[in-house]
Structure 1
Amino acid sequence: MSNFIVKKVAVLGAGVMGAQIAAHCVNAKVPVVLFDLPAKPEQGSGGAAQKNSIVLRAIDNLKKLSPAPLGNKDDADLIQAANYEDNLDLLAGCDLVIEAIAERMDWKHDLYKKVSPHLAPHAIFASNTSGLSINTLADGFDDELKSRFCGVHFFNPPRYMHLVELIPTAATRPEILDQLETFLTTTLGKGVVRAKDTPNFIANRVGIFGMLATMHEAEKFGLSVDVVDDLTGAKLGRAKSGTFRTADVVGLDTMGHVIKTMQDNLQDDPFFGIYKTPAVLAQLIEKGALGQKSKAGFYKKVGKDIMRLDFATGEYVAGGAKAADIVGRILKERDPVKKFKAMRESTNPQAQFLWAIFRDAFHYIAVHLESIADNARDVDFAMRWGFGWSTGPFESWQAAGWSTVAQWVKEDIDAGKALCNAPLPAWVFEAPVSEKGVHTPEGSYSPSRKTYVPRSSLPVYQRQEFRAKVAGGGGADPKTFGTTVFEDESVRLWHTGDDVLIFSSKTKLHVIGDGVTKGLRRAIAEAEQNFKGLVIWQPDSMEGGAFSAGADLQSALPAFMTGGAKAMEPLVRELQDTYMAMKYANIPVVAAVAGLALGGGCEMSLHASKRVAALESYIGLVEVGVGLVPAGGGLKECAVRAFAEAKGNDILQFLKVGFTNAAMANVSKSALEAKAMGYLKEDDVIVFNVYELLHVAKTTARSMFDAGYRPPLRRPVQVTGRYGWATIRGQLVNMRDGGFISAYDYHLGDTIAEIVTGGDIDQGSYVSEQWLLDMERRAFIALLANPKTQERIMGMMQNGKPVRN
């Protein structure tokens, strides 16, 4: 396949979605032009800037949004502003043009007439519509443009939501879809699902139906919004906001719009009665209570209290009710077969409600699978990646016993308990599905093809050593796959036969205790002897796990209780020695960072030869939160890097960023920000698709080895000494006296300043790395003996929140 390289993207429409899609392109180093209408003269002043003021406002707004659409706020300025009157010639230089204006067919058609003459002959043209017909949108295109037009539906917010639905027209050329899927997967880091051109496609069709069914059943069983949200949130492995809170966050007007698309286009659907806008939703929209953005919807914040809407009176009343204990126990049952049986047989209305919403979902996806998706896997991925479900609906059904559940659903339909009387399709009860379910190692079932469809074999997926899996669908388990070289309760050392050793820790959140430190030391020795490189990678990082949340305070407690702070010294020394062994190892050590890399986890990555980091990496030295200072070489590295960057200039200027990050426990909000903070180096690699992280890390390690890797030479470090220490201390005194930090925060800041400056020695002195490590270790042990630090540690372990004392 020839390379399809997207050199530039145009986004048409600077609304919420358009601006954020543009932002994510910039995150991925893809140049982007953002278009909107030209502003009217009174909307601004002066020339081109005035004409582009709508877009410029949208770009400015990107810096303020939370969660942040940009990995680095400063990159907002890299988005080029344009308008449809003066700048259509810019489209000729774009390889991909994404339309993201309001969901009005007539508006979209008007815009297409305006832009299509300016599109490059090779450019892919796509609409980010959330539910309009892609074939109808392409009406009026000539055949050539139709062949390179499709739907590309991002989910909000585009940086964080993994799902993108790709929807062809009847005329879209297959290679266009393959090229776009490749770009979306690797460059933008997305999970692509191909959908059929039906209203609201897959995720919104199933997800919005699920929300409507939930509202319908909640009313039937007399459950309040807070109880429903407690039942349908984290307890079901779904977004913790549950159903009604999610509707508030999405916006009740937006939800109303998606429901209207279903009402307008799905009159033949047997579930059409459920697409009626719920009366309570219509009333809220009419009142302008649109959810979070209007400060009232199903919930309303009054002072510090969250009030809930009472359906009976239409008034807001005190909220906070939870699921019944007995139902909570049913949901904790790990065996899905037992769990579903208990839900169905319980007399508790909350349990009956839960069975009802599962039954409704199973009924719906079975009836509609053939028309909305190619196979069952695409429905499960759409719901997991687009709605944040930990388990897709077909996965849940299969895990609970395919044939048994099918029989239960049939009984409910026959008894008139279901939402409509449409029977389950015949394939549900026929072999092979009746025997195997819809997911098997050879593929997932497709009713239209009457066979199991394997995964896409596009070359881009060869970059994913472990692809996202569906339960029952087979695929290698990264926790057991490959050849194990060594394994105990703390670590696993393994490889896949390609000359790179992989180190994975097995502790909760991959915290670092004595077992992990010893395992890492063992991995370095093993890799030096028998491999081209060592990669530190955590298998659960693909599903939102941590790289490492830092030191394991819990496991260190017994040593501390029996021998006091002094007993911790050998453990700290061992950690420092191991990280130094890693820094000066004779083979490249690559840290594959994703998720949290805090404290000792951050220090682990700092000592690697190179870092390959997923975009969503949250890196920082956070020890002051528990009244300690970094003691795994984090402050030492801060001094080393400041000296290297200063290149003969005043080192203190380069030390300030590292000092401030450690003293304030700053954590990067992305890998891009981690570069700006100095936790990642300029030549470290940022990977957008977390499923490609291991591949990139291994390729990096091998290429470094093949290029003749040698560890760095040990060099003395020039420090600022007492001059630098006094300068920083002066600023800390001002902060303490101004009431910005506590006396103990001052003490911790002063301790960090002492270490990064080398302490009470002459300015310009040279010290060894060991000198700085010894300072770190002594300070750490002294602080550990301090009652105020012990207070902070206990507070964090009991409540998970820092104590300010």
Structure 2
Amino acid sequence: MKNRSIKKVAVLGSGIMGSRIACHFANIGVEVLLLDIVPFELSEAEKAKGLTLEHPAVRNRIVNEAFANTLKASPSAVFTQSVASLVKLGNFTDDMKKIADCDWVLEAVVERLDIKKKVFEDVEKYRKKGTLITSNTSGIPMHLMIEGRSEDFQKYFCGTHFFNPPRYLKLLEIIPSQKTLPEVVDFLMWYGDLYLGKDTVLCKDTPAFIANRIGVYSMMSGMHSITKFGLTVDEVDALTGPVIGRAKSATFRTSDVVGLDTTINVSNNLYATLTHDESRDMFLLPEIVKELQNRKWLGDKTGQGFFKKVKTPEGKSEIFTLDLQTFEYKPQQKKVSFKALEATKEIENLKERIVKLINFDDKAGEFYRATFYDLFKYVTYRIPEIADELYRIDKAICAGFAWELGPFETWDLLGVKETLGKMEAAGQKPAQWVYDMLAGGNESFYKVENGIRKYYDIPSKSYKTIPGTEGFIILDNIRKTNKVWGNAGATIFDLGDGIAGLEFHSKMNTFGQEVLEGLNTAITKAETDFRGLVIGNEAPQFSAGANLATLFMYAGDQEWDEINMMIAYFQNSIMRARFSSIPVVTAPAGLALGGGCELNLHADHIQAHCELYIGLVEFGVGLIPAGAGTKEMTLRASDSYAKGDVELNRLQEYFMNIATAKVATSAEEARTMGYLRQSDEVTMNRTRLLADAKRKAIELAEAGYTQPAQRKDIKVLGQTALAAFYAGVNGMLYGNYISEHDAKIARKLAWVMAGGDLSAPTLVSEQYLLDLEREAFLSLTGEPKTLERIHSILFKGKPLRN
């Protein structure tokens, strides 16, 4: 079945989900046919134009408008705007016959069984036998959707529940019916993982499947706790957000974004359906939610819910929070005060922080114990109802609701046996299988053996490898066994097969002394003991760039020689990645800014995650890239001249990217900006990234890698480029688009990228450009306005334009 190829997909329904799913298929290069209904009546604008219901523009109005709105949405549903051309638009009446040419038909219409069944009737008329047919539903049972359908339809039908927004949320739930062929399920699990970049989770055909069943239960628990613990909306969101490794939108902000009516509908449906659920009453709506429902304050879609955007007398927009006693909106609590949060704010490690929070002796600790113990109990009773294996519950909730740790993983942190006693004392007794597990001498839900993570399998009462993870590289699994070297900012691992791995773990993975020491040590060790080096991590960000604190201190003390040596050391460290005797492969994901970008630019190969946000952003703190970044983009512009590019145009493009601190919003956009080369590759699934990077390092080593020599053939344009850049900068300055200091920085950047004041185009060396960028950087560190910008970033956390 895996030899089935997906060249063209039909998405039926162009609403928020349908259009975004269509965009995500287009992101991976698949052709998409996006269809929706024909309007029942003309709009006022159509009437004014004298159009009829038969006009093509009218017949496709719904799909055209929906797709146009999706392309304008932020965050973007597409990697680059160009992929939108892969999506062809049409309507059910005129174009349903075109699904005969599609390899997969995905229905994404409104969540009503009668409407879905009507669409499936039409699909049966045109769908080729053996074509995949799936429904994007958040809860309608599969067995009801296939009633009355042909045998072939039933065999190739499955639920494929994407989470919104499909580009960014990792979960794809696969829900077969009893009639679905096993090979169809296997294919969808495999394709979703490898091509769509999803954490594919096999679900049973039970109400709300896995993620929504557990996630909505947890949200409702948070809402019920408001009254129980006398908490405010702001307090609950502060306790249930990033501090415990969950989404920034936490509980009540999530409800406003999704729409309170959605939460209400799901909760009501679950309460009505789950007559057997021992914790069914948690899905009953709290009185505060009923009141909001009566007032039709349903969140963002109605302009107010638990939060409301309010205009102050000064005309500024501020977010106000609902006071649940008076039902009036008041200014948000800027700082939520709990001793537990104060005591843990300096703890960077999430696992250490969670353990301390849950065991803390204050109201926050009480709230955590009550909600976590209740959640722990709840998930134990869901096996085997919604999943046969406990890891599926953790995987679904983490991927669907952006939790960093699932319920069973969190319980492991606290100690299963120790926590069990506390749960019993709190009246939260779990299912019997937990007691059986402990009685059998098994003290955790997960354990690592020989670098492989295993889960406790309830029927066999033994540990089994999580299926599909055998080929993954998970650093946490090899942290104790494969560590080669480490300091406070970096760790070197043996990844096996002669490949070393370098992980950064400073704050935001910024480049300080320890990280640079780690980089140089890793290259030295790789050159003597290995055949390749992979640089990557499992943190949300690859690297936010250089640590500005040390620079700010030296500049404040006017230690110019120290700064010069620091820049030279940074340049030399980055250049070692290019000129080592072994291949260096980087595996960036998330932010790769400033120095993080420069390191990637000098790798032999970049194996990027599709969600890569990379750029040279030094301009924002009053500097230019001086870790070989300005040099490298000048070099890449020079190489493009030989391919026929108009010389000044490409250089100007790179100049503007740096001067505006532009950051790519995807790996594919990074390619268009010159930060990724055509030879660099993209991995869709974040969990596969390090393994893919290791595979590439082996490939380069086995191809007979040869250490490159420094380039001396870089064409710089001298006065030709300098005059053009200076003229542009002056125009921007006189038009009040930039400040005097912006202009000064831009002229310094222009000087480096032009190669200085040369009378004619000249070939120069990499070292020549490195010296120029270092001199420019050093001079800017002496500028008071640059120090003001650095101060604002360091101490206020926001950029300053001065």
**Pairwise same-fold verdict (TM > 0.5):** yes
Cα distance, 1:321 vs. partner? 6.6
Equivalent residue number for residue 314 of structure 2: none
Cα distance, 1:798 vs. partner? 1.4
| Counterpart Cα distance in 2 of 1:802 and 1:336 | 31
| Counterpart Cα distance in 2 of 1:251 and 1:83 | 28
| Residues 359, 537 of structure 1: alpha-carbon distance in 2 compared, 3 angstrom cutoff | closer
Equivalent residue number for residue 403 of structure 2: 389
Equivalent residue number for residue 185 of structure 2: 177
The within-5 A match list for 1:603-614 is: 603-614=598-609
| Counterpart Cα distance in 1 of 2:623 and 2:56 | 53
Equivalent residue number for residue 312 of structure 1: 325
| Counterpart Cα distance in 2 of 1:488 and 1:330 | 26
| Residues 496, 352 of structure 1: alpha-carbon distance in 2 compared, 3 angstrom cutoff | closer
Deviations along 1:428-452, one digit per CA (max 9) or x if unpaired, are: 33344685356133843455x3634
Q: Is the 8 A contact 2:415 2:444 kept in 1?
A: no
The within-5 A match list for 1:628-639 is: 628-639=623-634
| Residues 339, 57 of structure 1: alpha-carbon distance in 2 compared, 3 angstrom cutoff | closer
Between 1:323-332 and 1:770-779, the stretch displaced more is 323-332
Residues 1:444 and 2:443 are matched in the alignment: no
Deviations along 1:545-586, one digit per CA (max 9) or x if unpaired, are: x22222223345665566612322223223323433433444
The within-5 A match list for 1:181-580 is: 181-303=189-311, 304-320=317-333, 323-329=336-342, 334=352, 339-342=357-360, 348=363, 350-413=364-427, 424-432=430-438, 435-437=441-443, 439-441=445-447, 443-445=454-456, 449=459, 451-452=461-462, 454-458=464-468, 461-466=469-474, 477-482=477-482, 484=484, 486-529=485-528, 531-538=530-537, 540-541=538-539, 544=540, 546-556=541-551, 564-580=559-575
Q: Is the 8 A contact 1:226 1:322 kept in 2?
A: no
| Counterpart Cα distance in 1 of 2:237 and 2:736 | 41
Equivalent residue number for residue 119 of structure 1: 127
Q: Which amino acid aligns with 1:626?
A: V
Q: Is the 8 A contact 1:490 1:516 kept in 2?
A: yes
Residues 1:723 and 2:691 are matched in the alignment: no
| Counterpart Cα distance in 2 of 1:615 and 1:520 | 24
| Residues 555, 480 of structure 1: alpha-carbon distance in 2 compared, 3 angstrom cutoff | farther
| Counterpart Cα distance in 2 of 1:462 and 1:32 | 33
| Residues 500, 430 of structure 1: alpha-carbon distance in 2 compared, 3 angstrom cutoff | closer
For structure 2, list consecutive stretches of 5 or more residues without a partner in the other structure: 312-316, 448-452
Q: Which amino acid aligns with 1:361?
A: L
| Counterpart Cα distance in 2 of 1:443 and 1:585 | 37
| Residues 34, 790 of structure 1: alpha-carbon distance in 2 compared, 3 angstrom cutoff | same
| Counterpart Cα distance in 2 of 1:168 and 1:453 | 26
Cα distance, 1:339 vs. partner? 4.9
Q: Is the 8 A contact 2:340 2:357 kept in 1?
A: no
Please state whether the residue corresponding to 1:630 is helix, strand or coil.
coil
| Counterpart Cα distance in 1 of 2:332 and 2:514 | 46
Please state whether the residue corresponding to 2:588 is helix, strand or coil.
strand
| Counterpart Cα distance in 2 of 1:710 and 1:174 | 48
| Counterpart Cα distance in 1 of 2:320 and 2:353 | 36
Please state whether the residue corresponding to 2:72 is helix, strand or coil.
coil
Q: Is the 8 A contact 1:626 1:793 kept in 2?
A: yes
Please state whether the residue corresponding to 1:429 is helix, strand or coil.
helix
Between 1:329-338 and 1:171-180, the stretch displaced more is 329-338
Equivalent residue number for residue 472 of structure 1: none
Please state whether the residue corresponding to 2:477 is helix, strand or coil.
coil
Between 1:49-58 and 1:204-213, the stretch displaced more is 49-58
Q: Is the 8 A contact 1:623 1:630 kept in 2?
A: yes
Equivalent residue number for residue 450 of structure 2: none
Please state whether the residue corresponding to 2:544 is helix, strand or coil.
coil
Residues 1:73 and 2:86 are matched in the alignment: no
Cα distance, 1:613 vs. partner? 0.6
| Counterpart Cα distance in 1 of 2:279 and 2:517 | 59
Residues 1:682 and 2:678 are matched in the alignment: yes
Residue in structure 1 matching 2:687, options 691, 702, 705: 691
| Counterpart Cα distance in 1 of 2:631 and 2:160 | 47
Equivalent residue number for residue 70 of structure 2: 62
Identity %: 37
| Residues 462, 450 of structure 1: alpha-carbon distance in 2 compared, 3 angstrom cutoff | closer
Q: Is the 8 A contact 1:527 1:533 kept in 2?
A: yes
Equivalent residue number for residue 663 of structure 1: 659
Cα distance, 1:31 vs. partner? 2.2
Cα RMSD after superposing both structures: 2.7
| Residues 455, 60 of structure 1: alpha-carbon distance in 2 compared, 3 angstrom cutoff | farther
Deviations along 1:754-805, one digit per CA (max 9) or x if unpaired, are: 1111121124222222221111011111111222222222222212222222
| Counterpart Cα distance in 2 of 1:353 and 1:335 | 15
Q: Which amino acid aligns with 2:238?
A: D
Q: Is the 8 A contact 2:437 2:443 kept in 1?
A: no
Cα distance, 1:531 vs. partner? 4.1
Cα distance, 1:663 vs. partner? 0.6
Deviations along 1:250-273, one digit per CA (max 9) or x if unpaired, are: 111221221232133223433333
| Counterpart Cα distance in 2 of 1:593 and 1:342 | 37
Q: Which amino acid aligns with 2:326?
A: T
| Counterpart Cα distance in 2 of 1:478 and 1:740 | 52
| Counterpart Cα distance in 2 of 1:783 and 1:2 | 57
Residues 1:766 and 2:774 are matched in the alignment: no
Deviations along 1:87-145, one digit per CA (max 9) or x if unpaired, are: 22332332222211111011111111110242233322211100111122122223332
Please state whether the residue corresponding to 2:682 is helix, strand or coil.
strand
Q: How many residues in Structure 1 have an aligned counterpart in Structure 2? A: 777
Q: Is the 8 A contact 2:130 2:152 kept in 1?
A: no
| Counterpart Cα distance in 2 of 1:120 and 1:596 | 44
Q: Which amino acid aligns with 1:309?
A: L
Cα distance, 1:241 vs. partner? 2.2
| Residues 587, 404 of structure 1: alpha-carbon distance in 2 compared, 3 angstrom cutoff | closer
Cα distance, 1:226 vs. partner? 1.6
| Residues 558, 794 of structure 1: alpha-carbon distance in 2 compared, 3 angstrom cutoff | closer
Q: Which amino acid aligns with 1:592?
A: A
Deviations along 1:349-387, one digit per CA (max 9) or x if unpaired, are: x54343332233233223333211112222122222211
Q: Which amino acid aligns with 1:256?
A: I
Q: Is the 8 A contact 1:72 1:672 kept in 2?
A: yes
Q: Is the 8 A contact 1:514 1:571 kept in 2?
A: no
Deviations along 1:288-327, one digit per CA (max 9) or x if unpaired, are: 3221232201111111332222333333233317544334
Residues 1:646 and 2:646 are matched in the alignment: no
Q: Is the 8 A contact 2:29 2:86 kept in 1?
A: no
Q: Which amino acid aligns with 2:455?
A: S
Equivalent residue number for residue 129 of structure 1: 137
| Counterpart Cα distance in 2 of 1:531 and 1:450 | 41
Q: Which amino acid aligns with 1:395?
A: E
- TM-score where L is the length of structure 2: 0.90
For structure 1, list consecutive stretches of 5 or more residues without a partner in the other structure: 468-475
Q: Is the 8 A contact 1:403 1:434 kept in 2?
A: no
Please state whether the residue corresponding to 1:734 is helix, strand or coil.
helix
Between 1:303-312 and 1:376-385, the stretch displaced more is 303-312
Q: Which amino acid aligns with 2:570?
A: L
Please state whether the residue corresponding to 1:682 is helix, strand or coil.
coil
Deviations along 1:648-698, one digit per CA (max 9) or x if unpaired, are: 553111112210111111111111111121111223111111111122222
Q: Is the 8 A contact 2:357 2:368 kept in 1?
A: no
Q: Is the 8 A contact 1:225 1:308 kept in 2?
A: yes
Between 1:770-779 and 1:287-296, the stretch displaced more is 287-296
| Counterpart Cα distance in 1 of 2:157 and 2:147 | 11
Q: Which amino acid aligns with 1:366?
A: T
Cα distance, 1:41 vs. partner? 7.1
Cα distance, 1:711 vs. partner? 5.3
Q: Which amino acid aligns with 1:536?
A: I
Please state whether the residue corresponding to 2:114 is helix, strand or coil.
helix
Q: Is the 8 A contact 1:675 1:681 kept in 2?
A: yes
Q: Is the 8 A contact 1:428 1:434 kept in 2?
A: no
